[in-house]
Structure 1
Amino acid sequence: MSDDSAAPDRLGRRNALADAAAELVLREGLGTMGLRGLARRLGTSDRMLIYYFGSKDALVTGILARIGEKLSVLLQAYSVGPPVSPGAFLGEVLALGRDPVMMPFMRVWTDVIARAAAGEAPYDTVAKAVVADWTAWIGTRLIPDPDHPCPPAALLSIVEGVTLLEMACPGSTAAAGPWLAEALARVDGRTAG
């Protein structure tokens, strides 16, 4: 077998492992990312994971990139239509975060940000890109208001806080999301007039 045919096989196997690991992390969280345990769950060895990805950091980054790609596909439906006010956006996103399909993604990204805040590599690098992507996306969804601009990071902070609290104490934020969205909608109404 020539080296030319080995490269596509290696890339194909790497992609298959990243897909399977992404599904595992979405189901069970980042705690499943221990190298040996992850390898065992994927039906391979830790040495083979390093062979395909080069390092544990590259493995983690590759899996999170795959999760990000899956999330981008899901968010396409929420990226169309006219921009909305910050209050309406917050209400929609907090409701979306309770959707069983979206909840695993929200939990993973919140865990990534928490690990980054603790200085854990490679999450610290990944989190910077995730926050930049999220704030850019939020900015595209908001009605421009030059007199009272809403920083996308303010909305992201609320969403991350609600998600983190819900992860720590399931059910505790059931009324928080609607209340926060309504409060922000009231502010939107005062600044619009």
Structure 2
Amino acid sequence: MSDDSATSDRAGRRDVLAEAAAELVLREGLGTMGLRGLARRLGTSDRMLIYYFGSKDTLVTGVLARIGEKLSVLLQAYSAGPPVSPGAFLSQVLMLGRDPVVMPFMRVWTDVIARAAAGEAPYDMVAKKVVADWTAWIGTRLIPDPDRPCPPAALLSIVEGVTLLEMACPGSTTEAGPWLAEALMRADGRVG
């Protein structure tokens, strides 16, 4: 086997493992990222995971990158159309966060941010990119209002808070999301 073929085989196997790990994390959460347990669940060994990824941190960042790619594909459908007011955006995103297809992604990113807040590597570095990407995307979805600009991080803070509370106590935010969105729409001057 040539060096190019071996490198290609290794990259292909790494991709297969990253995809399988991403699906596992989306189903069961970041708690599945323990090296030995993850390796067992993927039908390999922890040594082989290190062989394919180089380090546990590279494995984690690779799996989270794969999850981010999947979410980007999902969000493309929600990125079309005209920009909306902050209140309308919040209403749409909170409803989207309850979608069974999107909910696992929300849980993972909220867990990444919580782990980053605790200073856990490599989540601390991943969270910086996640927050930057989310706030940039939110900024593209908002109607520009030079008189009353809404910082995208304000909306992200609400979404993350609602998601975290829902993760901790399922069903507790059923009324909170619509109330917050309506309050923001009132502030936007769009609700009577």
What displacement does 1:175 show? 0.3
Aligned length: 191
- Matches of 2:185 and 2:4, distance apart in 1: 58
Q: Which residue of 2 aligns with 1:76?
A: 76
AA aligned to 1:109 is W
Q: Which residue of 2 aligns with 1:15?
A: 15
- Matches of 1:66 and 1:50, distance apart in 2: 18
1:109 corresponds to 2:105:
no
AA aligned to 1:72 is S
| 1:110-149 paired onto structure 2 within 5 Å | 110-149=110-149
Secondary structure of 2:44's counterpart equals: coil
Give per-residue Cα distances to partners, 1:127-162, cap 9 Å, x unaligned. Answer: 000000000000000000011000000000000000
Q: Which residue of 2 aligns with 1:168?
A: 168
- Matches of 1:71 and 1:111, distance apart in 2: 15
AA aligned to 2:188 is D
What displacement does 1:188 show? 0.2
- Matches of 1:2 and 1:30, distance apart in 2: 37
| 1:148-167 paired onto structure 2 within 5 Å | 148-167=148-167
Secondary structure of 1:78's counterpart equals: coil
1:47 corresponds to 2:47:
yes
Give per-residue Cα distances to partners, 1:54-91, cap 9 Å, x unaligned. Answer: 00000000000000000000000000000000000000
Q: Which residue of 2 aligns with 1:99?
A: 99
- Matches of 2:165 and 2:45, distance apart in 1: 36
What displacement does 1:2 show? 1.3
Q: Give the unaligned 5+ runs of structure 2.
A: none
Give per-residue Cα distances to partners, 1:92-125, cap 9 Å, x unaligned. Answer: 0000000000000000000000000000000000
- Matches of 1:176 and 1:86, distance apart in 2: 16
Q: Which runs of 4+ in 1 moved over 2 A?
A: none
- Matches of 2:36 and 2:188, distance apart in 1: 50
AA aligned to 1:160 is E
Q: Give the unaligned 5+ runs of structure 1.
A: none
AA aligned to 1:18 is A
Give per-residue Cα distances to partners, 1:149-193, cap 9 Å, x unaligned. Answer: 000000000000000000000000000000000000000017xxx
Q: Which residue of 2 aligns with 1:180?
A: 180
| 1:28-43 paired onto structure 2 within 5 Å | 28-43=28-43
- Matches of 2:105 and 2:143, distance apart in 1: 26
AA aligned to 1:48 is M
**TM (normalized to structure 2)?**
0.98
- Matches of 1:146 and 1:51, distance apart in 2: 52
